[in-house]
Structure 1
Amino acid sequence: MSSSPAEPRIVLVGFGPTTRPALDSLLSRWQVTALVREEDDEVAAHARRLGVAVERVGSPSRVASLVEQHAPDCVVVSSYNRILSADVLDLCPFVNVHYSPLPRYRGRANVNWAILNHETQAAVTVHSIVPGLDSGGVLAQACVPIGPRDTVGTLYARLNVLQGDILPDAVARRLGGDLGDPQDESEATYGCTRLPADGEIDWTATTADVDALVRALGPPYPDAFTYLGLEQVGVLEAQPSPGGKVFAGRVAGRVVEWSRSEGWSDVLTGDGVLRIQRVRVAGETRPAAAVLNSSRLSLGLRSSELIAEIAELRTRIATLTAERTQL
């Protein structure tokens, strides 16, 4: 009597917010022998509770060593921001989960860019990993709409569910020897890396663009931010103002109205008014109107304030130098 084939063994590599749903969906069908994760966090603890070994490594060379050690039938990558060499990819089949409608939006920060660029849809694509950035054959792809008030958090939540729905069949397809449907290189676009400093609000931009920036940031990313004087202010929640006033005279970033009872403050943009509901100042979350409650206040770094600060510093330095000279 012949024995049944061994259950495929999977190693999951993931550092970001898409990894836990990937783990759960893979475990519904296969044995996951290890989770490769950079931090010993809640996702790592969840994996251990499910009996999955957790390997805390980061570099591609260490990933290669672990793949050789575990000898899986397939490696699934979900939220890993390093490039794996061709030598590593030769060890076994590799599958990647990418949150964009490939071949569009290869690269990084794809969910953020989708909101920032006012796209109407986001997607999950599962593809074979080959040398080249996100260029392997597509094993599965599905889309979700981006609503006008979606944030990066609400969009990730829906995309994570979608990943769980399509990932097992995509991996099964790859385990069966299928490399996926080739991507159309003529349709490829790319997203560059985003840094925390890229979240600074330009108040001369359109209301729609400032609103999109606020919605595209926030957990699991740093907030969109601005400055009140020289103090950084995170903008946590905002929307185009429903007030309907038209400002023929405008100073971008100027506070024009507020409601202490409802907590909002209206701020001029390059073409309209943004209503801010919540801000973060010195690590504390506050209603916007608790901070932005004067029509003499303007948001954003202003050259006059920087020059005044430099002048004050020069005065202090001159005073200290004079005092030391007299000693």
Structure 2
Amino acid sequence: MGEEIMRVGLIGGVGSSALTLKKLCDYGLNVVEVFGHQPKNTKFVSGHCNLEPFCLEHSISFTPFVKINEYVEKIQALNLDFLFVVGISQLVSKDIINAPKLGAIGFHPTKLPEGRGRAPLAWLVYEAREGAATFFMLEEAADAGAILAQESFEVSCEDNAKSVKDKIHEAMSVALDSLLPQLASGKLIAVEQDALMVTEFGIRKPEDGLIDWSYSAYDIDRLIKAASEPHPGAFTYSGMKKIEVKASRVERDLKIKGVQGRILKSNKDEFLVQTGDGLIWVSVIFDDSIKLRVGSLLGYKVELEIYELKKQIADLQELIRKIS
């Protein structure tokens, strides 16, 4: 089959989707339709990217969607040879997977069969483990299909979510340079995943960015880096105020010890905090109503908070008794 009649579609809505779309065009493939994820609130979609401007510029038909499985009939009617599904967390239906004649192709940034599942970027950063730009044949089971192309990349302890996302995109570009010439010819080499090597990542939510200062400096540093942009971010509390933590670095040289959660030193917008094991510098975002200084406590002391709540309840009960 010649590339001039190869019909390709794409479903996506983040930076990796945009990169794939551009590569498809660079290789002269006939992209006949793009379905762009346009949720009502993009705040809850990490790294959202609007694909419509690129489609308008390149005269590609564009369809916005909130729930892709509502567009089964339209996808089936496109008579596609291949369909790329890149950068959406929604599971596409069996009817969409089976719609293209030669197959639907998914993407996952781990070294499949390791690391199937949710929030792979955050988990790769948190565990500082090797990742891979992996393109595979879509099946009903998530991330389970035969591998078409896989380009590995390293993740170091200095990496955060943004730097690893950049590494993913670099590896994706290399993987697509390998895959797309095969796709243009309609002859793909697919390698089945080894079921004995399967591992999975579980879902992560914004509240999982809460810092527990009883953890080690190393673990807190990993959490802050994993939760950083494009994710919602790590956070802690000071009194009644929520404080966003945007960056961190483990302190290994200073010989100082304090109570966990206490700020021990400050340097502009950086604060040195005692953890359950070791020291960590954190860069925070806060407004003028929050007064952080040496000695400030981050997080809550549970028994003290319970005591204060019980005292307030007792005071309210006494007030109610007096006015009844």
Q: Percent identity?
A: 21
1:212 is aligned, of 208, 222, 247, to 222
> In the alignment, what sits opposite 1:8?
6
Tell me, yes or no, if the aligned pair for 2:148 and 2:190 is still in contact at 8 Å.
yes
> What pairs up with 1:163-312 in 2 under 5 angstroms?
163-174=172-183, 176-178=186-188, 180-247=190-257, 250-259=258-267, 262-276=268-282, 278-281=283-286, 284=287, 291-295=291-295, 297-303=296-302, 304-305=304-305, 307-309=307-309, 311-312=311-312
2:157 partner letter: P
Shift of 1:307: 4.2
Q: What is the aligned counterpart of 1:111 among 121, 126, 133?
A: 121
> TM (normalized to structure 1)?
0.85
The Cα of 1:25 is off from its aligned counterpart by: 1.0
Q: Which ranges in structure 2 are unaligned for 5 or more consecutive residues?
A: 40-48
Correspondence for 2:64 = 56
Q: Where in structure 2 are the equivalents of 1:31-70 lying within 5 Å?
A: 31-39=30-38, 42-70=50-78
Contact persistence 1:126–1:138 (CA under 8 A): yes
Distance 1:46 1:13 in 2: 14
What is the alpha-carbon distance in structure 2 between the residues aligned to residue 26 and residue 316 of structure 1? 66
With structure 2 as the length reference, what TM-score do the two structures score?
A: 0.86
Q: By how many angstroms is 1:147 displaced?
A: 2.6
Q: Is 1:141 aligned with 2:150?
A: yes
CA 1:27–1:310 in 2, change beyond 3 Å: closer, same or farther? farther
The answer to whether the 8 A contact 2:38-2:66 is kept is no
CA distance in 2, matches of 1:185, 1:258: 50
- Secondary structure of the equivalent of 2:248? strand
Query: Does the alignment pair 1:130 with 2:139?
Result: yes
Read off the aligned partner of 2:197 and give its amino acid letter: E
For residue 258 of structure 1, give the secondary structure of its aligned residue in structure 2: strand
Residue 167 of structure 1, CA deviation: 2.0
> Hey, what does 2:166 align to over in structure 1?
157
Structure-2 change in CA distance of 1:167 and 1:318 (3 Å): farther
Aligned-residue offset at 1:20: 1.2
Deviation of 1:68 after TM superposition, in Å, equals 1.6
Cα pair distance change 1:195/1:240, threshold 3 Å: same
1:87 paired with 2:85, answer no
For the structure 1 residues 298 and 128, does the alpha-carbon distance in structure 2 shift closer, same or farther, using more than 3 Å as the test? same
Q: Distance in 2 between matches of 1:177 and 1:58?
A: 33
RMSD: 2.6
Specify every segment of 5 or more residues in structure 1 that has no aligned partner in the other structure, as ranges: none
SS of the aligned residue for 1:160 comes to: helix
User: 1:318 Cα shift?
Assistant: 6.5
Whether the aligned pair in 2 keeps the contact of 1:95 and 1:174 (CA below 8 Å) is: no
> Match for 1:230: what amino acid?
M
CA distance in 1, matches of 2:51, 2:273: 39
